[in-house]
Structure 1
Amino acid sequence: MYLLLGAAMGTLGGLFGIGGGLVAIPALGVLFGLDQQLAQGTALLMVLPNVLLALWRYHQRNRISVRNAMMLIVPSFVASWLTSMWAVRVEAQNMRIGFVGFLIVLTLFNLIQMYWHKGNAGAELRHGRWLWVLGLGSGITAGLFGVGGGVIATPILTGIFGATQVAAQGLALALAAPATVITLTTYALHGHVNWLMGIPLAIGGLASISWGVALAHSLPERRLRSLFCVFLVFCAIMLCFRL
């Protein structure tokens, strides 16, 4: 059952380009009754191999700027470590309320992105010296909610920093990988990971994420983003029934 659920969440993760974590957390909380921290920790176990595999495959085809990546990784790693240490001690109900709020903000952010006129992309990033701010913010959301790096970083890198889509996706993967590792480690040390559930979820997700990616490439970008917003609102509503 967990393999099949992991396959379904992996497909949705590939479809929306989110690695499956944003799908898994509401599903684990609503369908299996896991408290918020346990759902986030178990989802991180599912997401980590997807992120590492995607980063490895990406690096084989596209060169990631080490300088830009480090400006994102260092503050993200520190922020995710510190916030995850605080997050595991927050009362589960309050954490779930915060996650619902995060989904609502993320929905609004994606709606704005649909109508945001982006400047011309180039080889050099605009405002490159401010990359650390993006790394810091992504690290905070990753530590608190187990998601955030790729979901937030990619559109900001293309919309504000002027990165090409390919460069933005590579930097977002480089940003997400260390934050996911340290956040998962913190959650695991505090007993907020269900290993018997998370491992088959990860296997199912790895086997199916390519299907979602293929489906995403067959849909118009605006329709795909609209579906993502609908999905986020649905997850928020379902989690509200658990509050």
Structure 2
Amino acid sequence: MEVFFIFFIGIVVSAFGTIIGFGGGVFMVPVLIIFFGYNIEIAIGSTMSALVPASLIASVFNLRDKSIDYLVGTLIQLPAVVGTVLGAFLVASLPVARLQFIFSVFVTLIGVYFLFNRQAKAPPKHSGLMYQMRGVPTSFIRINKVKKLAYRLNVGLVAIFGFMTGIVAGLFGIGGGFLQTPIMTKLFRMPYQVATSTSLFILVITSFTGFVSHYLIGNVFWSRSLPVMAGFMVGAVGGNIIKQKWPPKNHIDELIALGLLLAGLGVLLHLAVKSSFGFSF
């Protein structure tokens, strides 16, 4: 019975994470710990192992749909690796629990802002910080000919964004995936289809790296991981089908807001569990 519930929750979490480009790891880890008695390490290892096939499945759908921006994904991913390493080293010298609490409150407030402060009208086609930086030498325009979409980006700011999400992942051990879609859609003004697809493409690399690391240190037990993996795989397929048949363009702000609220709650729950194991402020 427990296996069935884990499988079902995995489907829901993965489908939702696929639709909004979050992946779902930040939601699933607290669920496994609080409701199914997984310890922290096994919960993270199980979730990482589930994200690998789920992100691959989602990326195959998006590859066929030609909605992945590989250049932006690379510009984010490479600095993120450096930031993750730096964040891991900073754990020993910073009050991580206190920072994690502040960060979770910040994410929750951003989610509330997205939910209750939607603009009545869509922003102008050529708007946003990235597009306004016309005079910066490292700015460039990306054009998706298949989707007939165009957007302006800046190499330096995209790389800084990747570096910062990497530091978050290294410091808190929760991954920075849930930050990618909101920033790409709101700050970079990237179209929803491209932002979510690119975020899930990045997740292929980060989840595989995390899975290998946790497997080598003994945090992956297949009896615990397989139900999560199966649920995430089914959810990834279901989420992509939903995206194709009922694109949530008009409701993406609400979905991202809900995702951020759940992510903030997940980080708080993660912090509470860690505190119960002897971590202090």
Tell me, yes or no, whether TM beats 0.5. yes
Q: Looking at secondary structure, tell me which structure has more helix per residue.
A: 1
1:15 aligns with 2:16: yes
1:127 aligns with 2:154: yes
C-alpha displacement of 1:84: 5.7
Q: TM-score scaled to structure 2, two decimals?
A: 0.69
What residue is the counterpart of 1:231 in the other structure?
Answer: 262
Query: How many residue pairs end up in the alignment?
Result: 238
8 Å CA contact 1:3, 1:204 repeated in 2: no
1:17-39, Cα deviation, whole Å (9 max, x unpaired): 33231221001111233333332
What residue is the counterpart of 1:76 in the other structure?
Answer: 80
For residues 223 and 46 of structure 1, do their structure 2 counterparts lie closer, same or farther at Cα, with a shift above 3 Å needed?
same
C-alpha displacement of 1:170: 2.4
**Match 1:147 to one of 166, 175, 180:** 175
- One-letter amino acid matched to 1:35: N
C-alpha displacement of 1:222: 5.0
For residues 181 and 124 of structure 1, do their structure 2 counterparts lie closer, same or farther at Cα, with a shift above 3 Å needed?
same
Q: TM-score scaled to structure 1, two decimals?
A: 0.78
Larger radius of gyration: 2
CA distance in 2, matches of 1:43, 1:104: 23
Secondary structure of 1:126's aligned partner: strand
C-alpha displacement of 1:156: 0.7
- One-letter amino acid matched to 2:6: L
Identity %: 18
Gapped regions of structure 1 (runs ≥ 5): none
C-alpha displacement of 1:168: 1.2
Query: Which deviates more from structure 2 when the two are superposed, residues 120-129 or residues 184-193?
Result: 120-129
What residue is the counterpart of 1:6 in the other structure?
Answer: 7
1:156 aligns with 2:157: no
Secondary structure of 2:152's aligned partner: coil
1:59 aligns with 2:63: yes
CA distance in 2, matches of 1:53, 1:40: 20
C-alpha displacement of 1:175: 2.2
8 Å CA contact 2:182, 2:256 repeated in 1: no
For residues 125 and 201 of structure 1, do their structure 2 counterparts lie closer, same or farther at Cα, with a shift above 3 Å needed?
same
The root-mean-square deviation of aligned C-alpha atoms, in Å, is: 3.4
- One-letter amino acid matched to 1:79: G
CA distance in 1, matches of 2:255, 2:67: 27
For residues 165 and 45 of structure 1, do their structure 2 counterparts lie closer, same or farther at Cα, with a shift above 3 Å needed?
same
For residues 99 and 32 of structure 1, do their structure 2 counterparts lie closer, same or farther at Cα, with a shift above 3 Å needed?
farther
What residue is the counterpart of 1:137 in the other structure?
Answer: 164
CA distance in 1, matches of 2:165, 2:74: 14
CA distance in 1, matches of 2:211, 2:184: 25
Secondary structure of 1:125's aligned partner: strand
Gapped regions of structure 2 (runs ≥ 5): 127-148, 277-281
1:144-197, Cα deviation, whole Å (9 max, x unpaired): 424322x11111112111211122122212322212221222222222233321
